[in-house]
A = this chain, B = another copy of it.
């Protein structure tokens, strides 16, 4: 499956969320990641994020697609990340 994850997290936790998601997905731009993962990895991401975020203050939105083919992606301005690039 293919996922897009966008987060709106307090500044105290934002670097932790970013560093974590970098290990699983590709960085697109500020607070935005995407990537092809398994259902098991998605479950792990959700469990791990639950340990990092404050559920009373932070917000994470996960868009899930059965197939990347459903998504058409357009960029305006500079391209900060590339979905074809592995971010280490």
Contact = CB atoms under 8 A, between A and B. Distances in A.
Nearest to A80: B59
A interface, size bucket = 35 or more
Interface string A16-35: 00000000000011111000
Contact of A58 (B63, B65, B78): B78
Number of copies of this kind of chain in the complex? 2
A31 B9 CA distance: 12
Contacts of A59: 29-30, 75-80
A45 B17 CA distance: 30
Interface in A53-78: 53-66, 70-78
Interface of A: 4, 6-8, 28-32, 46, 49-50, 53-66, 70-80
